[in-house]
Amino acid sequence: MQKKTEQVQDSLNKVVFYVSATLILLFSLVTILFNQQANLVITNILNWVSATFSWYYLLAATLYLVFIIFIACSRYGEIKLGPKHSKPEFSLLSWSAMLFSAGIGIDLMFFSVAEPLSHYMNPPVGEGQTFEAARQSMVWTLFHYGLTGWSMYALIGVALGYFSYRYNLPLTIRSALYPIFGKKIHGPIGHTVDTAAVLGTIFGIATTCGIGVVQLNYGLHVLFDLPENLWVQTGLIAVAVIITIISVASGVNKGIRVLSEINIYVSIGLLLFILMMGNTEFLLAALIQNFGDYISQFPKLSLTSFPFEQPKEWMNSWTLFFWAWWIAWSPFVGLFLARISRGRTIREFVAGTLIIPLLFTLTWLSIFGNSALHSVMFDGNTQLATTVLENPAHGFYDLLAQYPGFSFIAGIATITGLLFYVTSADSGALVLGNFTTKFTNIEHDSPRWLSIFWAIAIGLLTLAMLMANGVTALQNTTIIMGLPFSFVIFFVMAGLYKSLRLEDFRQASTSMNAAPVVGNVDIFNWKKRLSRVMLHPSLPQTRSMLNEVCKPAIEAVAAELITKGVHVDVQEKPVEDEPELYHLDLIIQLDEEENFVYEIWPVRYDTPNFSSRGKRAKRYYYRLESYLFEGSQGNDLVGYSKEQVINDILDKYERHMMYLHINRISPGTRPLFPDREN
């Protein structure tokens, strides 16, 4: 459907912005000024969270995965992220490529070597530096980057896409809570949820950026002998913030997207380089085994909490950190996935999100991780493992140093890492701006000054964490800040399921038989019926049908309802792309229950070559399609008589009454969504 021209301006969500901005800036300044004390406080809070909620993180992450797979595999999987008539904006190939890009980041470069070697040297249980430790080290690495994390992205993406594109609610986390709290989401409840999303997101982005800065610092040390210290890292943060500000202020997001695509190709190039120049046979064999081990051990690993062994430091550094990190990033990536997936079914969306990025991520981790393990175990490069334990940021570059053309490859890796960092900060600033803005249209973006502010805030928070205790402080803070939003996700699950139940009621209402029509007004003379099927009407024919048939039919129904004391609104609105045409809206007000909305839209299509109109080289024809709240009904009113249009309206109205009846008598309460804005 076409969109109306907005009359209302976008505005700042003052409560969410000022509360979240104040907390973040205050935290950053206190940490910078009192970094030792701040690190001590962070460590104490972490110990409490770990002791109290470690089991909860494991259970919550597993429940997120089970829920989203259940939704995708159930009958709800056929529901679209948008109205019934919506079509995907991107082709399957383009959509897959964008999902693919979502799985690439500088953290993959950091942890692809650091994590397997860390687990190999110091496994959570058992003896280190054994073949079994090597095998399990890869399983744990794949587990931390596997299905569980991507399920969080899929869950938030489904919720945002469903409520925003199907019910025209804001593209923010609070919209998912509408079925539970109704219009209260526009008050303190909604503000609290969105603030939690902002805080979790910015700490998640700051963690990624901090890890990236430390890694890039070592890359510059290798290439140009720059020192590894806070001053260089501060300079890198400043450069990245300046580039981000330029990008946001000049609106060159297209350029950033091009750079992101380049990064994809470069990443694949690095992957193939390691595969071909290393022990290819070993790496491919290990890849197959890693996949098999991951699939077979996944159920056990999901709920492994080590209650007897209690490797608390290991749990804090790895599993708890990763689950909290995924949770913190879920509003950010979920929003991105929702933005590119309008028109896809829930099943398509979940399958794509869980499979496409996962395959690349696991392949990357397996190739680089096993290359590092091979170097240590079979080539005798024990120094690589020792280095990783002392400074994980060195691992990736020290591995590359084992291959020919190191300077060139290291330069490429450094540039790629810098671009990953900039694009993460750039897109993060845009998303945080969106979370703190009240939009009149869900497709709008936040004002540039707001995105610039968040770009600076990300840089400041990253610097504060590095001053506190480097990467360790980033990890610890992520575990703490991910906790509040983990509770919000459960409310999102409840709201999504509650709303999806409405789809069952809509489906049940369509199975009822409408009352028989007296006088056979709905039955065509067969010759007229054939003519109608073959008709591909022009613009004047469509306008005449609107004026002489559709409009009188809607007005007749409205007049009759008014005589019965029903409040009815009939609107005639121009079609933006076709100024000579208009669409008709019939809205029947039903007080505290969902209004009945019936619309007739002229929709333009390309004329088929086989039609008489196509043979006369007429480019377009029109259908008069009826729309309800949930979208197009897929029928064409062209060629109908006034009585037949009236009959169509009444059929739909009867079914709406049945839907309300089923909703009314079902246990529990159901949400009342606002009328769709076209």
**What's the rounded Cα separation, in Å, for the pair 324 and 330?**
10
- Crossing angle between the packed helical segments 230-250 and 188-224, to the nearest 10 degrees: 120
Q: Is it the case that residue 102 has pLDDT exceeding 80?
A: no
In the prediction, which pLDDT does 520 show? Answer: 45
The reported pLDDT for the residue numbered 674 is: 63
| Residue burial 67-99, b: 16+ Cβ < 10 Å; e: rest | bbbebbeeebbebbbbbebbebeeeeeebeebb
d(CA 138, CA 285): 13
Q: How far apart are CA 259 and CA 426, in angstroms?
A: 12
| pLDDT value at 650 more than 80 | yes
pLDDT at 238 over 60: yes
The rounded percent of the chain whose pLDDT value lies above 90 is 56
CA angle centred on 129, ends 127 and 132, rounded to 5°: 70
The tokens for 195 are 């603030």
Q: Which of 72-76, 396-400, 561-565, 576-580 has the lowest mean pLDDT?
A: 576-580
Task: Give the model's pLDDT for residue 267.
Answer: 87
Q: Is the pLDDT of residue 445 over 80?
A: no
More confident residue, 423 or 349: 349
The pLDDT value given to residue 85:
78
Retrieve residue 420's tokens: 């990953």
Identify the pLDDT of residue 521: 46
- Mean pLDDT over residues 172-185, rounded? 88
| Average pLDDT of span 458-462 | 93
pLDDT band at 517 (very low <50, low <70, confident <90, very high): very low
Residue found by looking up tokens 């121009």 in the block:
574
d(CA 450, CA 433): 6
> Residue 97: is its pLDDT beyond 80?
no
Please report which confidence band the pLDDT of residue 6 belongs to, taking 50, 70 and 90 as the band edges: very low
Give me the pLDDT at residue 609, please: 72
**Integer Cα distance of 234 and 227 in angstroms:** 12
**Residue 58: what pLDDT?**
95
Q: Check residue 100 and give its pLDDT.
A: 77
Give the pLDDT mean for 624-637: 84
Q: What is the DSSP letter of 177?
A: G
Using alpha carbons, select from 251, 184, 159, 228 the residue that is nearest to residue 490. 159
The answer to whether the beta carbons of residues 602 and 572 sit under 8 Å apart is no
Q: What is the pLDDT of residue 638?
A: 87
- Cβ burial 125-156 (10 Å sphere, 16+ → b, else e): eeeeeeeebbebbbbbbbbbbbbbbbbbbbbb
* Three-state helix/strand/coil letters over 355-402: HHHHHHHHHHHHHHHHHHHHHHHCCCCHHHHHHHHHCHHHHHHHHHCC
Q: Quick one: tokens of 474?
A: 């980033």
pLDDT at position 533, please?
75
- pLDDT over 90 (residue 133): yes
* pLDDT interval class at 146 (50, 70, 90): very high
Give the β-pairing of 631-636 and 568-575. Answer: unpaired
Whole-number Cα distances in Å, 212 to 29, 177, 445, 635 = 22, 34, 27, 54
- pLDDT, residue 382, reads 92
Helix axes 188-224, 106-121, angle to 10 degrees: 80
- Give which of 34, 111, 477, 422 is closest to 236, Cα–Cα: 422
Percent of the chain with pLDDT over 70: 91
What pLDDT is recorded for position 49?
92
Rounded CA separation 6/390 (Å): 57
When mean pLDDT is compared over 98-112, 203-217, 520-534, 600-614, the highest value belongs to 203-217
DSSP 8-state assignment for residue 305: -
What's the CA gap between 31 and 46, in Å, rounded? 16
Q: Given a cut of 80, is residue 5 above it in pLDDT?
A: no
Instruction: Please enumerate in sequence order all residues whose Cβ is within 8 A of that of 560, keeping only pairs 6 or more positions apart, or say none.
Output: none
Does the pLDDT at position 143 exceed 50?
Answer: yes
Across 656-666, average pLDDT: 83
Residue range 273-322, pLDDT digits in tens: 999 999 999 999 999 999 999 999 999 999 999 999 889 899 999 999 99
- Per-residue pLDDT at 518 exceeds 50: no
pLDDT of residue 678: 45
Closest CA to 600 of 656, 678, 673, 517: 678
Q: Given this model, what pLDDT does residue 536 score? A: 81
pLDDT for residue 516 is more than 50: no
- Residue 617 clears pLDDT 50, i.e. is over it: yes
